[in-house]
Amino acid sequence: MTDKPELDLSDPRAEIDSIDDQLIRLFVERMARTDEIGRRKSAAGVPVFNASREEEILQKVDRLVPEDLREDIRQLYRSLFACSRARQSRNPARLGKQVPGRPSVLVLNGPNLNLLGIREPDLYGKRDYAALEDYLIQTGQDEGLNVTCVQSNSEAYLVERIQNALGIYDAIVINPAAYTHTSVALLDALKAVSLPCVEVHLTDVSAREDFRTVSYVREACLDCFAGFGFEGYRKAFRLLKTYLTKNKKPA
């Protein structure tokens, strides 16, 4: 039996390593541009997701690679799009028009709300999260409030946003989603900052599974609006506006 010659891959692997170095550098540069776009979108009140722009890029890369690589390049770019959207969603909050002298309200939306329109549409509706943000910004303006919208699937990030709200915002509206029923950390953060807060849920959680009747955050909230869909946020805004007016501190 003859021994097989040792396979020497050192040269092509060295070339791949060199290419990877370039790819990593370009990836870092691309994400930096993504962050800048995210900041500009936030300042302009533009949704993160732009389906037509992503499709335009996919069609372009299709033309730049051989046919047998087209599905591969599409998978690569879909991953890049997902990274970009995640960074833009995490970094800047979505801001409504900020009018001096108006009360400022931080709206926190918890896990899986970014999947509105996809997640159980018979239960949560067919409008997506971008539509919810648009509704919140416009409703805030209608009610005479400066509104900032934040969505995160991370409990730690939501806690940090609550902590950082002190001294910046006058009130909080929170839809903790699944963390409603599990998070003592969110409760403790809300109690720590002692800002007036209202809990909101799109669905009537009291009429669903037994575990959804438990809310840890409610102890730190003025009230809860559940089962009114998007309109629950308007009810929360109005309650907070009334509360802030009645409890306005002398200048």
Mean pLDDT score, 201-219: 85
Find all residues with CB under 8 Å of 234, minimum gap 6, and list them. Answer: 139, 143
| pLDDT value of position 221 | 97
Which residue, 63, 62, 126, 140, is CA-closest to 95? 140
Residues 166 and 207 in one domain: yes
* Residues carrying an active site annotation: 124, 201
Domain end marker among 49, 74, 90? 90
Tell me if 8 is assigned to some domain: no
Sheet with 197-201: list strands edge to edge.
Answer: 94-95, 146-151, 104-109, 171-175, 197-201, 223-226
Which one-letter amino acid corresponds to residue 15? Answer: E
d(CA 34, CA 88): 7
pLDDT exceeds cutoff 80 at 250: no
- Two structure tokens written together for 153: 């699937």
3-state helix, strand, coil in the chain (%, to 5): 60, 10, 30
Residue 40 covered by a domain: yes
* Structural domain containing residue 129: 94-246
Same domain, 55 and 84: yes
Q: Is there a single domain that holds both residue 174 and residue 82?
A: no
Element housing 199 (H / E): strand 197-201
How confident is the model over 16-73, as pLDDT tens digits? 999 999 999 999 999 888 878 877 776 565 667 788 999 999 999 999 999 999 999 9
Instruction: Look up the pTM and report it.
Output: 0.63
- DSSP secondary structure string for all residues of 61-102: HHHHS-GGGHHHHHHHHHHHHHHHHHHHHHSSPEE----TTS
Q: Which of 34, 69, 90 is the last residue in one of the domains?
A: 90
Q: Is residue 24 classed as helix, strand or coil in its secondary structure?
A: helix
Shared domain check, 231 and 115: yes
What local confidence, expressed as pLDDT, does residue 46 receive?
66
Instruction: For residue 39, give the CATH number of its domain.
Output: 1.20.59.10
**Position 7 in a domain:** no
Confidence of residue 169 (pLDDT cuts 50, 70, 90): very high
pLDDT the model gives residue 159: 92
Please write the tens of the pLDDT for every residue from 72-99.
999 999 999 888 877 776 555 666 777 8
Q: How many domains does the chain have?
A: 2
Q: What are phi and psi of 126, to 5 degrees?
A: -100, -5
